[in-house]
Structure 1
Amino acid sequence: MISILLAEDQALVRQGLKMMIETDPELSVKGEAANGKEAIELCEKQPFDLIILDIRMPEMTGLEAMRIIKERWPKYKILILTTFNDEDYALEALKNGANGYMLKDADAEELIRSIRSCLKGGLSIEDQVAAKVMPTLIQGNRRSDIDSSLTKRELDIIRCVGQGLSNKEIADQLYLSVGTVKNHISVILDKLALRDRTQIAIYAIRHHIE
């Protein structure tokens, strides 16, 4: 059973999201929070596989909570779920390690698909949001700015991560073992001073590693 923490300040919305999520028998909302502070307190009490955070919440926003959670529990997957299709919010969320960014008007199928993608290490971004943030990310750094210490194999793996492939899928595509892929990813994270796969994916997009 996949354990999920759901942070949303409106109780009715939270219950509706919980019902949508739990239409998948493998997903279970094990913790509910009304703000970012409560979400962090729940993380201190029990582990979760995925944390879903609303952006605008009283006491502590989802973005503030995400920064703290990523610092203290870097392996936790975080999906931002919001009514705001705002480029600045999305960019801040992605740059600080969000594994996905969804709008609340998504249906149950889309939400569950995003949850599954995040859990597999993918980067799930609502189409409407992607259309706004991708040009900004792409305009940032060009391919010529790629770290010169990266090997061809590491660039291949960065490209695959940017495509949202899992370690197994990368291993199959590059004819490597899953363990070798994991080792390469660890080296890439160290070389680029990145925190997780999501930031590798953003690096691939910003540097046109395709």
Structure 2
Amino acid sequence: MNKITKVMLVEDHPEYRDVIDLALKDQPDMQLISQVGSSERALQVLQNQLNDNAPDLILLDLNLPGMSGLEALPLLRSCCPNAKFIVLTQSDCESDVLRATQLGASGYLLKSSTVNQIIEAIRTVAEGGALLGSGVAKYILSKLESRLASIELQDELSQRELEILTLLGDGQVKKEIAGQLDISTATVATYVRRIYEKLNVQNAPAAITQAYRAGILPLDQKDGAAKKSSD
């Protein structure tokens, strides 16, 4: 006989609790042993629960009344050290995903996930695996690609070229950059030409756009450069 995974649900919306309750009732290898609406209540239940009825897996919302799911996660783990955790939330914020995994969550799903996706996530994590929902995984991958592009771009350009690119992003023209860096305008022009060659662009707006996309320059610099790039 297959082991039954005992599940605890920490979720403040009764309608969503009902959805999860109905979904797990149809699974012969899962049992929803408790459902509560706050982190504080979850801690009370776990502290008073006998070891043989402790959950194997806890589905945890983050946006809870009172103590948030992120605040509660280490406390819940302390009360139930053998349990696995899946965050089930509306938040696709990168910092929430990273923090939850750092605190010991083995899974992170958005509430937009289908019931089947949630069921499969429970099985995966209960068997010792880890899982990110598809929406979250795509988001994190996008952020990672952006960071890698930033690293590659910074490796490609010299420190002086990055400095001049930043000043271009501030909207400064070559003469202004030369005065600020105490070098000749011709030297600045040489550096700018090298920047264009390395980035494979033809002008300052294109260079600034590429640096912006790579995360080197903030968004508010992008428009400033386009206005003063025809020197």
* Structure 1 length-normalised TM: 0.62
User: Runs of 5+ in structure 1 lacking a partner?
Assistant: 141-210
Residue 16 of structure 1, CA deviation: 1.2
* 1:65 corresponds to: 72
Q: How does 1:160-171 map to 2 (within 5 A)?
A: none
Instruction: Indicate whether 1:19 and 2:22 are aligned.
Output: yes
* 1:39 corresponds to: 42
Instruction: Indicate whether 1:123 and 2:130 are aligned.
Output: yes
Structure ID, larger Rg = 2
Answer yes or no: is the 8 Å Cα contact 1:21–1:111 preserved in 2: no
**Aligned-residue CA RMSD in angstroms?**
2.1
Residue 26 of structure 1, CA deviation: 1.7
Residue 133 of structure 1, CA deviation: 2.6
Answer yes or no: is the 8 Å Cα contact 2:124–2:130 preserved in 1: yes
Report sequence identity in percent: 28
> 2-side partners of 1:130 and 1:74: how far apart?
26
The DSSP-based 3-state class of the residue aligned with 1:60 is: coil
Instruction: Indicate whether 1:100 and 2:103 are aligned.
Output: no
Instruction: Indicate whether 1:114 and 2:121 are aligned.
Output: yes
User: Runs of 5+ in structure 2 lacking a partner?
Assistant: 149-231
Residue 2 of structure 1, CA deviation: 2.0
Aligned letter for 2:56? D
* 2:167 corresponds to: none
* 1:167 corresponds to: none
Structure 1 stretches of 4+ with a deviation exceeding 3 A read 134-140
* Structure 2 length-normalised TM: 0.56
More RCO (CA 8 Å, sep 6+) = 1
> 2-side partners of 1:71 and 1:134: how far apart?
31
Aligned length: 141
